[in-house]
Amino acid sequence: MTRFAGRPLLNWAALAAAVAALIAVPEFVEIFTLMQFTLFAAMGVLALSLGFIWGYGGILSFGQTAFFGLGGYAYAVSVINLGDSTGAIGIAIALPAVFAAILGYFVFYGRISDVYLGVITLTVTLILFNVVNATAGDEYRIGAAALGGFNGMPSVPTFNMPGNPSMVLDPTQGWYATGGALIFVYVALRLLLRSPFGRIAVAVRENEVRASLLGYDPRLIKLGVFVVGGAVAGLGGALYVNWGAFVSPTIFALSLSAEIIIWVTVGGLGTLIGPVVGCFMIQYLDSQIGTQQTFNSNLALGAILIVFVLLLPQGLIPTLRTLAGRAIAAPSRTAAKTTVAERPAEARQ
């Protein structure tokens, strides 16, 4: 916190640069590339959700796609029923948040240990996958929306101008909405981390016993972090479905859950920018591998994850920061001021 509170100018500059990039990108790239960037940005929101709960809450969820998928389906079902994407996006955020609250209550208040948390989130994701997969057939509809089972739901209406269903966003506007959402979520999480809640959450991650001896309820704090993560992932799901105008049960796939974890590990646990950078890099790599047939992308992803865990466990961004810190030979005071952000090892214990 101190790290960023002390450098507001740099933060504003970075934010301005991000917004400028958001606005400028459509001028420079083809529509195909723009669509690809839109997908990256939607996934970036998903990356932020895990980066937040794992890096700052110490909660390693193996099923962040559960909330992502729920958000996607909630968006699809509500937009078909409501005819307007404005409320549908709200539902896509609220429903996963509620689901996260229920699941989180069960897990954190049940004093289920961290290891089992991974197993349970994984299992819940599988349950959702199985259930949604089995909803083929016309009897499975919610209002006007047929769930479609393993076939998924085609032709989901995409975003429209808030409150005006007749004005559907074109791909460039879709990019603004998605990229804008990514920047918004990033800034919102940054601010949340500087709020008392965020600072207490980090304290709970650092030392749960001490936090409770100071009068904070770790269960409640973790639940809060988990719910925020669920809401953010849900928003990511809505953005993703908007991008493809399509949703199918593969949105709950374990392979995607694994990929999010790879994004965060590669980019750097305990930072917010790291997961986004990791997400962009891995997705770019993934799309490049997809264009050739010699080897499978799982092979590359698996190898990358193993290499990072063994050789660069801190991830790219923290490592770069350390290197940059050494290179400019900052006074030792600054080096000592590094915050929790540079201490991913603790979060993993």
Partner 1 sequence: MTPPVPLLEARNLTMRFGGVVAVNNIDFTLREVELRCLIGPNGAGKSTFFKMLTGQLTPSAGTIAFRGTPIAGAASHEIARLGIGIKTQVPNVFNGLPVRENVWLAARRRNTPVQAKRLVDEILEKIALTPRADDLVGQLSHGQRQWVEIGTVLAGEPDLILLDEPAAGMTDEETVRTAEIIREINQTRALIVVEHDMQFIKMIAKTVTVFHQGQILMEDKIDAVMHDERVRDVYLGKKVAA
Partner 2 sequence: MDLAFIIALDVLNGAASLVLLCLGLAIIFGMMRVINLAHGEFVMLGAYATVISANAGLNIWIAMLVVAPLFVGVVGIVIERCLIRFLYGRLVDTMLATWGLSLLIVGLVTTLYGNTIKGVPTPLGGFSVGAYKSSYYTLFLAAVALVMLALVYVVMRRTRFGLVARATMQNPGMAATLGVNPSRIYMMSFGIGAAITGLAGGLLAPVSGVVPTMGAAYVAKAFITVVGGGSAILAGTASASGLFGLINQLGSYFTTPVFGEVILFISAIILIRILPQGISGRFFKGSL
* Residues of this chain that bind partner 1 (CB under 8 A): 1-2, 196, 199-200, 202-203, 206-207, 209-218, 333, 336-340, 343, 346
Type of residue found at 18: A
Which residue's CB is nearer to partner 1, number 41 or number 204?
Answer: 204
Residue spans of alpha helices (H) in 245-343? 254-267, 273-290, 297-311, 316-327, 332-336
Q: Is 119 in the site for partner 2 (CB under 8 A)?
A: yes
Question: Does 147 engage in binding with partner 2 (CB under 8 A)?
Answer: no
339 binds partner 2 (CB under 8 A): no
Q: Which among partner 1, partner 2, none contacts residue 202 (Cβ within 5 to 8 A by kind)?
A: partner 1
Say how many residues touch partner 2, by CB under 8 A.
45
| Among residues 191, 309, 330, 335, the one that binds partner 2 under rule CB under 8 A | 309
Give 160's strand partners. Answer: 168
Main-chain dihedrals φ then ψ at residue 141, nearest 5 degrees: -135, 150
Q: Point out which residues pair with 331 in neighbouring strands.
A: none
Q: Is 296 helix (H, G, I), strand (E, B) or coil?
A: coil
Cα–Cα distance, 310 to 265 (Å, whole number): 11
- Measured between its terminal Cα atoms, the distance across the chain in Å is 22
DSSP-derived letter for residue 155 is S
Q: Which of 9, 209, 213, 310 binds partner 2 (CB under 8 A)?
A: 310
Cα gap 206→52, rounded to integer Å: 14
Q: Which is nearer to partner 2, 137 or 143 (CB)?
A: 137
Q: Hey, CA dihedral for 240, 23, 162, 33, is it positive or negative?
A: negative
Q: Which stretch binds partner 2 (CB under 8 A): 106-114, 156-164, 203-211, 217-225?
A: 106-114
Note whether 144 binds partner 2 by CB under 8 A.
no
Nearer to partner 2, 62 or 159 (CB): 62
Residue 278 and residue 266: Cα distance in Å, rounded? 5
Q: What's the min distance (Å) between Cβ of 178 and partner 1?
A: 34
Q: How far is the CB of 11 from partner 1 (least distance, A)?
A: 18
d(CA 67, CA 237): 8
Residue 2 binding result from partner 2, partner 1, none, given CB thresholds of 5 to 8 Å by partner type = partner 1
Among 5, 10, 31, 306, binds partner 2 (CB under 8 A): 306
Report CA-CA distances (Å) from 221 to 54, 67, 176, 208, 338. Answer: 13, 19, 33, 10, 24
Q: Which is nearer to partner 2, 60 or 91 (CB)?
A: 60
* Binding partner of 110, given partner 1, partner 2, none, CB within 5-8 angstroms per partner class: partner 2
Among 166, 291, 332, 349, binds partner 2 (CB under 8 A): 349
β-sheet bridge partners, residue 235: none
Of the pair 1, 145, the CB lying nearest partner 1 is at: 1
Q: Which of the 8 DSSP states describes residue 110? A: T
CA angle 241, 242, 248 (to 5 degrees): 20
In the complex, the smallest distance separating the C-beta of residue 6 from partner 1, rounded to whole angstroms, is 9
By C-beta, is 210 or 326 nearer to partner 1? 210
Q: Rule CB under 8 A: say whether 124 interacts with partner 2.
A: yes
Q: How many helices (H) and strands (E) would you count in the chain?
A: 16, 4
Identity of the amino acid at 152 = G
Can you state the angle between helices 171-194 and 196-206, rounded to 10 degrees?
A: 70
User: In terms of CB distance, is 152 or 219 closer to partner 1?
Assistant: 219
Q: Give which of partner 1, partner 2, none residue 36 binds (C-beta under 5 to 8 Å, depending on kind).
A: none
Contacts with partner 2 by CB under 8 A lie at: 60, 106, 110-116, 118-120, 122-124, 126-127, 130-131, 133-134, 254-255, 258, 261-262, 265, 294-306, 309-310, 313, 348-349
